[in-house]
Amino acid sequence: MLLHTYPVPNIRTNYMDHTLIEQLRERLAAPLPGRAAQYRMASMRRLEELGFNPVPPPDAKVACVLNLLYWQEDAWHTLLIQRTQNPNDRHSGQVSFPGGRFEENDGELVNVALREAWEEVGVPPVQVEVLGRLTELYIPVSNFVVHPFVGVLNGPVAFSPQVGEVEMILTPQINAFTLPENRKTADLTLNSGITLKNVPYFDVEGRMVWGATAMILSEFLELWEM
């Protein structure tokens, strides 16, 4: 596996940056855009599976992810990971937020997102200021209900990918997701051999960000651009 170095983000100190983050906190506490915003980046197959009033089955598992924001080089960034190839992982090789399954000793759901960010990318929980949470999302293929949290990095951290779990860390500017040329569609063949037609995705450094991650980003961006 190639080794990559990642710049250490700056602590946010700019007043305007602080104002934007406080506005985002308030928007996360208000009624959220919800599934209507998520569905803008959903494939037709996903829409067919979920319907417009999805009810997860009683045996659905719980997972949490963290959309971590940080300020660097006069721009806001988020942090994504490309997962390693794993035949036992239905989301093998995909680009996603740091995150994972709820465990009994996690206590509150937010602790899952913080723990996974620490394990997968080396971000200490004490360096993350949690701003709020987005709308939960059911993923039929893996039978998970995902709870997305939004946080901001409040200290310098040297990102470090978890060996065996994370192939690469991606640190795109948030504004890149708002550019029309970075919102695309493509036919996508899954590991199962099924081909999905006209799947909407974000192009991030030549990589496809699709599925649940794209749907979570879609809702977040609606709040970010308000």
Residue 149 belongs to a domain = yes
pLDDT attached to residue 156: 82
Residue 156 belongs to a domain = yes
Instruction: Please give the Cα distance from 161 to 84 (Å, whole number).
Output: 11
Residue 53 belongs to a domain = yes
At residue 199, φ and ψ (nearest 5 deg) are -80, 125
pLDDT attached to residue 2: 34
pLDDT of the chain along its 226 residues, tens only?
A: 333 444 455 444 444 467 889 999 999 999 999 999 999 999 888 888 777 656 888 999 999 999 999 998 889 999 999 988 765 555 557 899 999 999 988 889 999 999 999 999 999 999 999 999 999 999 988 899 999 999 999 888 889 999 988 999 999 999 999 999 999 999 988 766 778 889 999 999 899 999 999 999 999 999 999 7
Residue 118 belongs to a domain = yes
Biggest CA-to-CA distance, the chain: 51
Domain that holds residue 89: 15-177+212-224
Question: Which stretches within the chain are classed as H helix?
Answer: 15-29, 35-38, 44-50, 109-121, 211-224
Residue 207 belongs to a domain = no
* Amino acid (one-letter) located at 178: T
Q: What is the CATH number of the domain that holds 129?
A: 3.90.79.10
| DSSP label at residue 10 | B
Residue 185 belongs to a domain = no
Residue 183 belongs to a domain = no
Q: How many domains does the chain have?
A: 1
Helices 15-29 and 211-224 pack at an angle, to 10 degrees, of 110
pLDDT attached to residue 18: 76
pLDDT attached to residue 15: 43
Cα 44 to chain centroid distance, Å, stands at: 21
Reduced to 3 states (helix: H, G, I; strand: E, B; else coil), residue 168 is: strand
